[in-house]
Amino acid sequence: MGGICMSVRLSKLFGMDVYDFEAGYKGKVYDIIINLEKGKLETITTEPLKVKTKSDAKKILSEKSIPYRNVKSVKDIVIVSSRDVPFADLPQEKEEQAPTAASQLRYKYSRR
């Protein structure tokens, strides 16, 4: 978690609003996937995983999920890094874009 120590009850996360660094609303926390072997949180979904088919579950996991490693802060809301949901909307090969003021600000503050 990048040196940030945070502690919160897992039950408190359910229903919390999720925003990115640019104040973009990403949804509410519906389900949390835990890796029991590693003992850590893996993924937050912004839609319930109660689905009828495997393909529906895959769609939610690929389009409506946030890797927990992208969670940067949790208090009254969940703040995630800009590389989060939905994965399908992320530019795959167009990484070289003109930097925005917000991305330059993030770079300044995240680098020490």
Amino acid at 36: L
Q: What integer pLDDT is reported at residue 62 of this predicted model?
A: 87
Strands 78-80 and 17-20, by their bridges, are parallel
33 versus 101: the higher-pLDDT residue is 33
* Residue indicated by tokens 């003109």: 98
How do residues 69-100 score in pLDDT, each as one tens digit? 999 999 999 999 866 444 444 444 444 444 55
In the chain, where are the structural domains located? 10-89+96-110
pLDDT at 52: 83
pTM: 0.62
Q: What is the pLDDT of residue 26?
A: 93
Residue 6: its pLDDT value, please? 62
Cα 100 to Cα 24, 43, 103: the distances in Å are: 15, 28, 5
Superfamily of domain 10-89+96-110: PRC-barrel domain (2.30.30.240)
pLDDT of residue 31: 93
Structure tokens at 47: 């839609």
